[in-house]
Structure 1
Amino acid sequence: MLKLSYGASVGALAVAIAGPAVAQEAVAPRQGGLNEIVVTATKRTESLQDVAISVNALGEDELDNLGVDTFGDYLDQLPSVTAGASGPGQSTIYIRGLASTTPNLTTAGVAGLAPNVALYLDEQPLAQPGRNLDVYAADLERIEVLGGPQGTLFGASSQAGVVRLITNKPSLSGFAAKAKAETSFTKGGETSYKGELMLNMPVTDRIALRGVVFLDDQGGYIDNVQGTRSMRDSARFREEGTVRYNGVPVSSGRAGFQSSPEDLAYIDSEVTFIEADNARLVEDNFNDTQYAGFRASALFEVNNDWTVTVSHMRQSLESDGVFFADPELDGLDDLEIQRFSDDRLEDDFSNTSWTVEGRIGALELLYTGAYTDRETQQNVGYSDYLFVGQYIPYYMCDTAVAYPGSVDVAPADPTCYAPNLSVSSNSDTTVFTQELRFSTPQDLRVRATVGGFYSDLTLKERNDYFYASEMVRGADGVTRGFAPIYPFTNTEVTGTTGRAFPGYFSDPGPLPEGAGFRNDVKRTDKQWGIFGEASFDIVPDVLTITGGARYYDVEVDLEGAATSAFCKLNSPIFGANAGVPVEDQVNIPGCGGGNLSLLYGPDNEFGNPDKATASGVIFKGTLTFTPTEDLLFYATYSEGFRPGLLNRPGGTQGPGDYVVPYELETDEVTNYEIGWKTELMDRQLRLNGSAFYVDISRLQTSIFDPNIVNLVYSDNAADARIYGVEGDFTVAPYAAPGLTVTGAFSFLDTKITEVLIPTNDVIEGESLAYAPEFQGNLRVRYEWDLSDSLTAHIMPQVNHSGSKYTDIIEINKLKLDSYTTFSMTAGVTADMWSAELFGENLTDTRAEVAGNFNFDVPRITTNRPLTVGLRVKFDY
């Protein structure tokens, strides 16, 4: 695994935020007029204007001009696309407002929903539960975004759309080299640097090699400022009548934990609160990030009909700090936060892919496969959990604090210890995919693409939750803190069989000192499918009907355990163990947690499902009308689905008759769409768009509601619908050579139509998450000749997004404000080099691009502050 040392922040560049939504050549033809855009959205090579699908694309020159490199950069170019982002390597894509929740990264393995937008690198799907791969956009030919369900050709995780990163392939045409370098300066933040080098080299007349290396060091801009925090802030000690910051009252139910005046009086007068102080972690601009890696590929042209392409990529991403702030805390500004643990992320992946293309008679054949191995090591500050975790005092305070009436067993001077909480999260994800498909010649009146697909994903995730980390023996003889213990499944180590159940565990133990809980899970997602699309020209070149179908079979399994250390020590709560030596506390009866193998194993005694399974057929139909060469209209019916999963706290009794389901069902979407592709005014104006209605059944969402269970779980919460109109335009007038005007827009109206869970967490009539009613952008680029060898350009940009919510769960929901940002670039270009000055977020706007409210405190992710810089490029 590639390892480098780095730091730097992933804040989205404002040039990315203000970019256009369609691909075209960076320079309009000097005589004016539009350029052709080529895509492979239907798994065939076609002109964008001939594809009866809502497709946005960014070409290679466009990506360079916009400074697009990272996940947030290229998604922000497209008005129909949003992302729930909490930092680099931690984002989830949403298209057309089909979103329900903000993912919780520390439970991605055990409770992460399958994505509903498929992320592809060339021919291989890379979407993963909980967190998408943040693939650095080095040496890309283009990025394509397909809106609406694309399940017939792209499978399970494409119910809202597909994002495809298409790399440049090795070329036999000759030696080529490209290099670019950039430095930028952020207001109030650190300097950033990046560099990229590409070489293409034919080895023989049949073999070519291509390689790219990159390094992107992004300076931080958020400050971790000094502060203190104590257990007095715990949700356990909320006063009666407390209302959350987002306006939702705290429940008075069984887990509402609003303390009585008598309990609060006792706590305030008798309890000693030891403060956590983050002085040692105070740092300006602490959210540094660095991307580093390479991609090497080889092309072997076996003969005129057959080629083999092999590619290998490695990327290392290392990030410090967090990318959200706490603007509601008194005394902090909008780029400051108080963190009490060392937040950091190492996210490394290697990816190997292979593609064989050829021809058998008239049939075109493509076989492709890929293997991806991703490892993440993350430390997450968890002190915010005390704002919603009502049980924290049980673990970190003396008995009299958790049970104020229990003075007969309470220490004379009860204490709550410093809440320096953190989570150590380690995951290893492997994905193996294969696809084989056949296509008939495109010039036939009846043409088809058929194939088969297989995917096998394994996600191993281990999270250790650290509470009081030191073993301290008090004067009363009670040891406070958490002893290092063994997972209760670990028969081989403990030698005890009475509580050692069969199941998966990744580490033989003991748990690290100070770890109070451990989630140790293995999740496997397997799927296979058979798919096909066929088109028939009812009237050649004028009227075409297309039909598609996919049979799918998906299986999701979950193994592992949630292990608790709390009754395996002489604790202030479980005082009955006082005097028992730590080494003898390995298997005290009644301790532990939940063994998922008991709940979901093939021989479980509860009758619960062994696996979450789904199979069926989805369909697509399109009627295309092309009255002239420059006009195309289409009407589409399409379906999509997303697989379910198993719930760790399945069977938990909620309010009334509600029971947390053991198995989450698939959610399904049905899309009705009309679209248009037009080139007007003698091909000086391109105007594309679509209008759609999406019907959503059994929408999946993650829920954190302590009134039900103190764990994240998932359910099919609601039915919903979406109305939308989206479009993009490009103007390249003959009368003004060098002038290109590009814009795009998206209008959405989303609504929950029926609530399926008998709780107050979801409300009928409310909007879906990450679904702004309007998004739009506009860019003008003008080029002119300075001399026979130099061309100048200037490019102002503006981007706007309406307000949006982060969740559909009322107690977890946060409203993000609308924003408008401005950027500009100006530079000169010669035959083989160019230099450009750029300014991003010129008005220094705090654009609220994402956020979460899972812990009853607002955590808002904003864009990077005002940034100016210089980039230079060389192209041989």
Structure 2
Amino acid sequence: MHMNFVTARQRALKTRLLAAAALGLMGVAAPVAAFAQATDDTMVPELVVTAQKRSENIRDVPVSISVLTGDQLAKQHVANYADLARSTPGLSFSNTGSSGLSRISLRGISSAQGSATVGIYLNDISLTIPNQFFTGVTLPRLFDLDHVEVLRGPQGTLYGDSSLGGTLRFITKGPLLGVFAGEASAEGSKTDAGGANYKLEGVVNAPVGDNAAFRLAVQREYLSGFIDHVNSQGVVDNKNVDAERTTAVRASFLWNPSDDLKVTSTLQWQQTASDDTGITKLSLGKFQENRPVREPSEDTLFAPSVTVEKRFGDLTFTAISGYAYRRFDRQFDGTIYDSDYVASVIDDSYGPTYETIAALPGIMRNTDAVATYSQEFRLASPSLAESGKRYEWQVGAYFAKQKITSLDHEYVVGLDATVARLLGTTTQDAIGYATPGGLIGYFNSVRRNNQVALFAEGSFKVTDKLKATVGLRQVRATSQYALDEGGWLADGAPARDDASTRSTPLTPKFALTYEASDSVSLYANAAKGFRLGGQNNALTSFCAADVKSLGLADAKSYQSDSLWSYEGGAKTRLFGGRVTFNASAFYIDWKNVQQSVRLAKCGSVITGNAGDARSQGGELELRAMLTDHLTLNLSGAITDAKITKASAGTGAVDGSHLLGVPENTASIGLDYNRPLTNRVDGFFSVNWSHTGESSGAYATTSQDYRRPSYDLVDASLGVDIDKVEVSLFAKNLLNEDKVIQKPSVLFITQGLVLQPRTIGLNVRAKF
């Protein structure tokens, strides 16, 4: 272990964390001192999680965890990763314009290249996909969920690769035996600078005989968008071009024929169609863009699974079979990227011919399709709480096959006719390649990732108050890659290229939990996380000098990277259950980071193991019942994530901030709920969230180098009449319209803005 890492700066950081924790406690000290004897209705609910693949009280788990219940998600109108990040300490996001394009990180472990750094799970099925240029991380629709678990820090022992910075688990509501029930909701809203939105949801739970049940949940949503297209004269000719439509269905079936056998199957299908990306051009007016080519997309997810749980005496055997298929079809505006490039080659004097061809619409059509088959088997003893013994354990095996198909076809519309008209010749004579239908290049690849893993984890009560936990996972993984490419853009590259990698990462975990009292639990852990390696697209012959100058042994592939994380924290439940306060501090040492390496002379970008990084900081969360009707929610995080060993070609220098990681975040919310009459309850909530400054690029000359801090206020007000709830809500109440990110997409720097103030009405009925 690296023990001599406490520098003056790190001591200052820890001092700030301790001070923040102290202020959090002081802020509620006065109200809490006056608390009356707590009852079940006036206590903060106890949280039970399955983070360690068994049901446990959250205070017994030696990991920093945030939990958002389904009711919290609905009342706070958490709809995407941006909303989720503002509600969760340590979670951050970057986006290039629309749904399906978000990148996320936890605890500063951020990389847009290589494999993902955060594991995404729907129940126990992995939805994690590698970082793709055209596709963001997968987000299952947030409806009819029991809760969301955000596990911070590497979870490599139980969740394997890509749970490097942490893991997000979306836990759905399951069928209930012997119960016929349901609910329906309708929501309408209006977005400033946009139009009208709506969302409809319905859920039905129905028994099937005495030992089976079925649950069906559906959602339909329309978002009007708020970005306008302007023509060449600067006049708006198409409003709200970034409208989106989503349809989602989840069906679950439970068969529970005996006390020792339970079979659950779940199927989720969802599709989001976007008319265009919701990103602005910085030189135009607020909420405006002038792309000559629209950028529609269609994002589809299909995820069925079957889980079998069988008890053999005290032991439980679990088998989980899953399949996850995601397809993302997208069109890009490639006018600058492709049309301008072709024009500069045909007319290198940049005269009238160049100007005419450069103005032709350039279109990039891309499809990413990821299919993952997985099978997990586990055998587990009862938990410590269930058995009353001094030990608990589980062992398991995991098998997965993943196929990633990427199709990239690039066109300059009207190229052949324009060249013939201007030059009196064919495009093939002008550039040496035929361009049927304007096709100037295609790049079609297939990646196959296979892995087998064995894992084990166990805990032992050293004393009545001290518990030790040890875990280990051994993985054997292979990755194969095949690329077919052609056309003028692929000049100098092989028509077909193959590459493969193998890796055998071993990821241990060590943890101690000390029960200081019935209400205070202290923990410390050390854990290793990893990402699997992969392959790069074949390079043209012009790139050989760049590869040699950077000292890269093999530009065709990159290897696994890994990190060690060291964490300590406290989980408390105070004043008779009226207050919960959790705090944690961490230090992460990250080696051989998979990140972008630019080959300056030939213009290509590859993924390489380039440099080292470290991240340190901490989080706190507090929830307090200030009165029988008023609840305070407070959370915050400080993250100091930097490059410690920069590599040539990355654009970073020693000390550069890792990208897309806010230096601090905070959230303060108040929830008020009380009876108005015997049949009517009233409620009110308000929440303020702060996102600190971050870096969007390593180059100081980039417009995205420093991303600004921003603040949002959300609020809701409503009544609950028997089984009907009516609420009025506002998101971005103060209408913050700051450009929060300035990503460069295909050589064009654009602006990501916050969704303007949205005010709506929601009606929900249960039966």
TM-score (norm 2): 0.88
Using a 3 Å threshold, how does the CA distance of structure 1 residues 742 and 411 change in structure 2: closer, same or farther? closer
Question: Match for residue 472 of structure 2?
Answer: 549
**Equivalent residues of 1:396, 1:467 under 8 A apart:** no
| Matching of residues 213-292 of structure 1 within 5 Å | 213-227=218-232, 282-292=237-247
AA aligned to 1:55 is: I
**Equivalent residues of 1:417, 1:468 under 8 A apart:** no
**Equivalent residues of 1:772, 1:802 under 8 A apart:** yes
**Equivalent residues of 1:450, 1:532 under 8 A apart:** yes
**CA offsets per residue over residues 615-672 of structure 1, 9 Å max, x none?**
1311100011102111100110000000111122457322872155222121111101
Question: Match for residue 173 of structure 2?
Answer: 168
Question: Match for residue 143 of structure 1?
Answer: 148
**Equivalent residues of 1:814, 1:852 under 8 A apart:** no
**Equivalent residues of 1:465, 1:517 under 8 A apart:** yes
| Matching of residues 796-807 of structure 1 within 5 Å | 796-807=686-697
AA aligned to 1:785 is: P
Instruction: Confirm whether residue 123 of structure 1 aligns to residue 14 of structure 2.
Output: no
Q: CA deviation at 1:858?
A: 2.8
Q: CA deviation at 1:375?
A: 2.2
| Matching of residues 433-832 of structure 1 within 5 Å | 433-442=374-383, 443=387, 444-472=389-417, 473-474=420-421, 476-480=423-427, 513-540=437-464, 542-565=465-488, 594-595=493-494, 597-598=496-497, 600=498, 610-649=499-538, 652-654=544-546, 657-659=549-551, 661-703=555-597, 705=598, 707-733=600-626, 736-755=627-646, 757-759=647-649, 761-808=651-698, 814-832=705-723
What is the rounded CA distance, in whole Å, between the counterparts of 1:862 and 1:522 in structure 2? 35
Aligned partner of residue 337 in structure 2, secondary structure: helix
Aligned partner of residue 222 in structure 2, secondary structure: strand
Instruction: Confirm whether residue 201 of structure 1 aligns to residue 206 of structure 2.
Output: yes
What is the rounded CA distance, in whole Å, between the counterparts of 1:485 and 1:458 in structure 2? 35
Aligned partner of residue 682 in structure 1, secondary structure: helix
- Gaps (5+ residues) in structure 2? 1-37
| Matching of residues 339-378 of structure 1 within 5 Å | 339-378=291-330
**Equivalent residues of 2:428, 2:435 under 8 A apart:** no
Q: CA deviation at 1:849?
A: 4.8
Q: CA deviation at 1:138?
A: 1.6
**CA offsets per residue over residues 465-506 of structure 1, 9 Å max, x none?**
1125342223653124899999xxxxxxxxxxxxxxxxxxxx
**What is the number of equivalent residue pairs in this alignment?**
714
Q: CA deviation at 1:597?
A: 4.3
- RMSD, aligned CA: 2.6
Q: CA deviation at 1:840?
A: 1.1
**Equivalent residues of 1:483, 1:514 under 8 A apart:** no
Q: CA deviation at 1:729?
A: 0.3
What is the rounded CA distance, in whole Å, between the counterparts of 2:463 and 2:104 in structure 1? 39
Q: CA deviation at 1:74?
A: 2.9
Aligned partner of residue 628 in structure 2, secondary structure: coil
What is the rounded CA distance, in whole Å, between the counterparts of 1:771 and 1:872 in structure 2? 37
Q: CA deviation at 1:411?
A: 10
AA aligned to 1:446 is: Y
Q: Which of 96, 107, 111 in structure 2 is aligned with 1:96?
A: 107
Question: Match for residue 728 of structure 2?
Answer: 837
**Equivalent residues of 1:732, 1:741 under 8 A apart:** yes
Question: Match for residue 54 of structure 1?
Answer: 64
What is the rounded CA distance, in whole Å, between the counterparts of 1:310 and 1:782 in structure 2? 38
What is the rounded CA distance, in whole Å, between the counterparts of 1:786 and 1:485 in structure 2? 79
**CA offsets per residue over residues 779-838 of structure 1, 9 Å max, x none?**
101112210110111111100011111244667653211001111100001221100001
AA aligned to 1:66 is: Q
Using a 3 Å threshold, how does the CA distance of structure 1 residues 811 and 525 change in structure 2: closer, same or farther? farther
Q: CA deviation at 1:417?
A: 3.9
What is the rounded CA distance, in whole Å, between the counterparts of 2:111 and 2:247 in structure 1? 33
Using a 3 Å threshold, how does the CA distance of structure 1 residues 768 and 760 change in structure 2: closer, same or farther? closer
Aligned partner of residue 653 in structure 1, secondary structure: helix
| Matching of residues 1-150 of structure 1 within 5 Å | 31-86=41-96, 87-101=98-112, 113-129=114-130, 130=132, 131-150=136-155
Aligned partner of residue 628 in structure 1, secondary structure: coil
AA aligned to 1:449 is: Q
What is the rounded CA distance, in whole Å, between the counterparts of 1:537 and 1:284 in structure 2? 64
Using a 3 Å threshold, how does the CA distance of structure 1 residues 478 and 414 change in structure 2: closer, same or farther? farther
Aligned partner of residue 74 in structure 2, secondary structure: helix
**Equivalent residues of 2:550, 2:649 under 8 A apart:** yes
Q: Which of 418, 427, 432 in structure 1 is aligned with 2:373?
A: 432
AA aligned to 2:114 is: L
Larger relative contact order (CA 8 Å, sep ≥ 6): 1
Q: CA deviation at 1:65?
A: 1.3
**Equivalent residues of 2:81, 2:93 under 8 A apart:** no
What is the rounded CA distance, in whole Å, between the counterparts of 2:82 and 2:463 in structure 1? 43
**Equivalent residues of 2:610, 2:650 under 8 A apart:** no
AA aligned to 2:559 is: E
Aligned partner of residue 72 in structure 2, secondary structure: helix
Question: Match for residue 311 of structure 1?
Answer: 266
Aligned partner of residue 545 in structure 2, secondary structure: coil
Aligned partner of residue 352 in structure 1, secondary structure: strand
**CA offsets per residue over residues 395-445 of structure 1, 9 Å max, x none?**
22574x3268xxxxx999996441421211123221111111111111331
Judging by fraction of residues, say which structure has more strand: 2
Larger radius of gyration: 1
Aligned partner of residue 471 in structure 1, secondary structure: helix
Using a 3 Å threshold, how does the CA distance of structure 1 residues 686 and 561 change in structure 2: closer, same or farther? same
Question: Match for residue 7 of structure 1?
Answer: none
What is the rounded CA distance, in whole Å, between the counterparts of 2:616 and 2:530 in structure 1? 19
**Equivalent residues of 1:552, 1:615 under 8 A apart:** yes
Q: CA deviation at 1:92?
A: 1.8
Using a 3 Å threshold, how does the CA distance of structure 1 residues 398 and 781 change in structure 2: closer, same or farther? closer
**CA offsets per residue over residues 555-608 of structure 1, 9 Å max, x none?**
222112221247xxxxxxxxxxxxxxxxxxxxxxxx85534744x3xxxxxxxx
**CA offsets per residue over residues 294-353 of structure 1, 9 Å max, x none?**
1111111131100111111211110011122122x1xx2231111110210011222110
TM-score (norm 1): 0.78
Using a 3 Å threshold, how does the CA distance of structure 1 residues 413 and 55 change in structure 2: closer, same or farther? closer
Q: CA deviation at 1:204?
A: 0.7
Instruction: Confirm whether residue 293 of structure 1 aligns to residue 182 of structure 2.
Output: no
**Equivalent residues of 1:828, 1:835 under 8 A apart:** yes
AA aligned to 1:528 is: V
Judging by fraction of residues, say which structure has more helix: 2
What is the rounded CA distance, in whole Å, between the counterparts of 1:553 and 1:819 in structure 2? 44
What is the rounded CA distance, in whole Å, between the counterparts of 2:613 and 2:396 in structure 1? 32
Question: Match for residue 402 of structure 1?
Answer: 348
- Gaps (5+ residues) in structure 1? 1-27, 102-111, 229-277, 387-391, 405-409, 487-509, 567-590, 601-609
**Equivalent residues of 1:739, 1:780 under 8 A apart:** yes
What is the rounded CA distance, in whole Å, between the counterparts of 1:448 and 1:811 in structure 2? 53
Q: CA deviation at 1:711?
A: 2.7
Q: Which of 863, 868, 871 in structure 1 is aligned with 2:754?
A: 863
What is the rounded CA distance, in whole Å, between the counterparts of 2:765 and 2:354 in structure 1? 71
What is the rounded CA distance, in whole Å, between the counterparts of 2:673 and 2:195 in structure 1? 32
